[in-house]
Structure 1
Amino acid sequence: MGKQLAKSEFGLVKEIIREEDNVPTFVYSILDSIIAGKVVVDCKRYPNEVYFALPNGVSYLAGNGNNLIEYINDRVALAKEKKQRFTIFLGSFASSHPFINSSDFNVFERISFQDHYVQPPSMAGEREKYLIRTITKEDLMKCQEFSPNYIQTYWGSIDSFMKMGTGVTIRNQNGEIVGECISIFRSSKYIEVDIFIDQEARGKGLGYWLGHSFIEQAYSNQLAPKWDCDVQNTSSIKLAKKLGFDNPSTYRVYSLINDS
C-alpha cells in the first residue's frame, strides 16, 4: 500500500520526477506547496513510484514499477462508488498500467509544448478597440469561463488564486469581458496558461493579444509559461505557435467515465 509523504519529505521524489517527460505543472505546484495535494510513494526509504493527487480528482503517476496498483485501484473504486471525478496523467514509465485498456476510462491525447521563445508583437488585429488588464477579484465574478467555481476547483479558493495565481482579461468598448486568460496552475518556476475568448469576439486576433499579455506578465514574475491542450484543438495549437511555443510532444490522460 502507499505511504503518504509529509511536506518535509517531498524531496524524496524529486529524482523520480526529473527522469520523467511531460510532468504536469500541478505536480510542481504540489511539491512547491502552492496548492494542496497528496504525495504517495511505494516506499519511503527507496521510492520507485510516486502518485500525486489533487482534491478535485486529478492525479499523476510517475516512476518505474507496479507497487502502487492496489492503492490506485482503491482510489478508482471509491470514485466509482461516489460518482466522483478520477482523472490520471501517466508518466513515461507508468504507461503499462493495467487500467489503460479498461472500458471504464475515456482516453484523451494531449499536446504539451516544452519550450517557449519570446516573440515581439506581430499581429495588429483590432487591439486598439479593446482594453487588456490584470484580472481582479471583481473580474472573476463576471468571467464566463473561469468562474468562481472553476477557481475553487483548481485553486481551492479565490483568495488562494489572487495570492498565488495571475491572469488578464480583455474588455470591449462596452466594458464587457470578452476574453480571459489565467494560470490554471503555477509553481515556483512554471505557470500554465488557460485561455478563453467569447464566441462573438473570435477571429479578431484577441486571443493572441491576451496570450501575449499573459506571457509578459509571467516573465515579469520570473515564471516560464507552459501550454498544454487536446491534440484535436487545432485553434489552440495554432495560437500557441504564434505566441512562440515550440517543441511539442504528446501524452495521454485517462478519465473515469462517470466523471461529473
Structure 2
Amino acid sequence: MANKKNSKKKSKKKLLILLIAFVLIAGGGYTGYSKYVAYQKHLAEQKAKEEELRKKQMEEEQKKKELEQAKQKFSELIALMRQELAKKNYARVRELADQARKLALAYNLPADEIDKILYEMNLAIASAKLSRLEKIHDVYAHSYLRNQLKTIPRYPEIAARWDRLLRKTYQDEYTVLLELAALTSKKTVDGDTPDVNYKLSKTYLKKAKLLVASGKAKPDVSKENSLLESQSEGYMSSIGRSFQPINLYR
C-alpha cells in the first residue's frame, strides 16, 4: 500500500513539473513572438522613415536643380533684354521682361535688373520723343508741343530739357499773342471791321500780359508799348467810322 501511495505522489509531481515546464515554454514562446512582431514593426517603421527621408532629399535635389535651371534661364533673358535694348527693339524687350518677371515670381528671384532695363528703355523712348519736339521751331506749334510734353514722363535725367521746352512753349505763345494783337490792331487802323479787331487786339495783349504776370514768359516791353500806341491810333482813327468800342480802357 505504501508503495502505491509513493508511486501516485511521484506521478503527480512529474505531472506538475511537466505542466510548469509547458507553461514556461509556452510563455517564453509567446514573449519571443511578441518581441519578434515588435522588432518587425520597428523595422517597417524605420524603413518607412528612411523612404520618406529619401523622397524628401530627392524632392529637395529636384527643387535645387530646377532653381539652378531657372537662374540660368533668368540670366539668359536678362542678357537678351540688354541686346534687344541696344537694338532699340522695345517690343521684344517688353516681351522678354514679361517672361523674366514670371520666372522671378515663380522662383523668388530678384527683379531689380528687369526694372533697371525697363527704366533705361523708357528713358530712351522719352528722350527720343523729347528730341523730336525740340527740333520743332514753329512758334504757332506751342499748344501742340505742350500737349505732347504731357505724354513724356519727366525723368530726372531729362528734367532740365523738359522744363526748358515747356518754358519755350509759353514764350512762343506770348510771341504769337503779340503778333495777333499787332495784326488785329493794324486791321483796326485800316478800318477793317474795327469794332471786332480792336477788341481782339486788346484781348490778345491782355492774355500776353497774363503770361508775363504768371512768370511763364519774359516780357517784350518795347513791343507791348508799340501795341498800345497802335491800338490808340486805331481807336482814334475809327471814331469817324461809327466805331464806338465798349470799355476801351478796361
Normalization by structure 1: what TM-score?
Answer: 0.19
Say which structure is richer in helix.
2
Say which structure is richer in strand.
1
Normalization by structure 2: what TM-score?
Answer: 0.19
Higher relative contact order (CA 8 A, sep 6+): 1
